[in-house]
Each structure stands twice: as C-alpha cells, then as structure tokens.
Amino acid sequence: MILLVDKPAGMTSQKVVAKIKHASPHKLKIGHTGTLDPMCTGLLPVLTDRDTKLTQFFPHQKSYLASIRFGIKTDTGDVTGETLQTSPLPTEEEFRKILPSMIGTCQQVPPMYSAVHVEGKRLYELARMGVEVERAPRTVEIFDLTYVDRIGEGEYRFSVTCSTGTYIRTLCEDIAAKMGLVATMSALRRTASNGFLLENAYSLEDVISYAEQNRLSQISLSAEGAFSHLPQVTVPQNGEHYYLNGGILTANRLTPSVSDGLYRAYSASERFLGLVQVEQGNAKAVFSAE
C-alpha cells in the first residue's frame, strides 16, 4: 500500500511510521520515502509490504512552502536553535529580487543538524555532542523559487521545487549570504513529493484510525495507480511465467513496440504485473505486483 500522510509538527518521520505500524492489527513491513524534520509538516509518503521496493522508481522531485526569517543565524539552521549571529533586515523588494538568481544547479553543504551519516553516526547526533565535522558539498537543483507573501518584519514565505537531497534550511542561509546577510528557516511544509500532492494526503489521526479498523486499503494508493503516468505494455502469455520469475525477455516480444524506459506491465488478460525496465533491447521485471 502507498499511504499519503500529512505529518504533524513535533514528530519525527520515523515516529509517524511507528504509530501507523503499531495501530495496524497486522504485522506490516513499513517505511517512508523522505525524512521531514520534527518541526516540519506536510506530505510524507508511507509504503507498506511489497510496495516498499517502489521508492527508487518515484520521481525525485519535491516541493515546499517555506518561511525565512532574516536577521538571525542559528546553530540548527532553523528557529529552534541558538542564535549565533545577527544582521540587518532586507526590504521585501530586495528579497523578491534575489530569488530568481538562486534557481538552477548549485553545491550545497549538508547542515550539521541533518540525518546524513558520517563514520557511522548521523550528523545531528554529532551536533548534539558539540562536534562539528567537515561535510562534502553535494549537487542539488532548484527548479522553481517563487515569492509568496510577507509574514512580518524581515520574515517572508516562498515556494520551492527542488531535487531530492536539497536542504531548505541551507537554502535559506544561502539566500541570505548572497545578500550579505544572515537568516534562518522559520517554518516548512512539504506540498509535493515523489509525484504525490499534499492535497491528497490524510491526517495522521485519520490514518491511525483506519489502521486500527484494518481499513488502510480504503485510503491507500496502488502501485498501478501511482504509476498511471507510465505507458503500458503487454507481456505475451507464453512468456509471462518466465518473465515473472526473473527471466529477461527481448523487448520486441512486448506490445506495443517500445524504446528504452520504464513501463507498466500487463498480462494478455489485462492483469497488472508490475513495472518493467526496457534497456538495450531487453525487458526485465523490476517490480512485481504479485
């Protein structure tokens, strides 16, 4: 099952998963597709059982509604931390003008308060011990950055669509640094993730209620539905058993004729089989729905 959960503030993503797992009368294999910090809210796709294998096939793009507060820099990169530095405030027009220049590919250094592993420990564990280590920059991409509104003096809201692995706290600091100022993230809500939208998510309270009643299937998405944007191919009846057992078919046995790419696979009787990867003339099952 694929569950779209609206994560509340003050809770880790792993805690959300644990609560759903505990509420279900069945033993579920369960995980999520992308960590949200405790202070952050919004869309958290949760996968169960066989569907936990789907993560690698989802679109690697996310969108957020973020708030930036100028004038302070904190040790955590957000308003929950201790103030390290202060600066003057920009005007609303100055902030609006800087946003287009941040769109594109850039190098971003993961913040110390993040879940990145370094020598067997997560960075936030080291940060809580007062230890700071050198972090290698990573390439991320900002696809869209749009001004939304003014919240208060020196505090603004903006929307951002970015690649997986982008830290919005770091983006806030980078925006301010480009203006010769400091800033910190004051709020964050994820509005889209992995091709899913927040507007289709359920509150954690509702998901837990459905789990307790053994009715999660009523609010879940199927793998077939989640990948409805992919083109469809049919596996021949005389090759179906071989294909489902890991055998590689020549792509010309699929109908219609296809080029390299990821497809939804169906049987000759129109039963959904899963996902098939076509590469260099060969077709291999990469996710089985059965």
Q: Catalytic residues, which ones?
A: 37
Q: Output phi, psi for 194, to 5 deg.
A: 55, 30
Q: What is the DSSP string of 161-194?
A: EEETT--HHHHHHHHHHHTT--EEEEEEEEEEET
For β-strands 155-163 and 183-193, DSSP reports them as unpaired
Which ranges of 202-262 would DSSP assign to H, the alpha helix? Answer: 204-212, 223-226, 240-244
Give just the sign of the alpha carbon dihedral 102, 4, 275, 259: negative
Q: Determine the residue type at 179.
A: M
Q: Which residue shows structure tokens 């059965």?
A: 290
For β-strands 155-163 and 61-70, DSSP reports them as antiparallel
Which ranges of the chain would DSSP assign to H, the alpha helix? Answer: 13-23, 92-98, 123-128, 168-178, 204-212, 223-226, 240-244
Distance CA 233, CA 255 (A): 5
Per-residue burial over 70-81, b = 16 or more CB atoms within 10 Å of its CB, e = otherwise: bbbbbbbbbbeb
**How far does CA 83 lie from the centroid of its chain?**
29
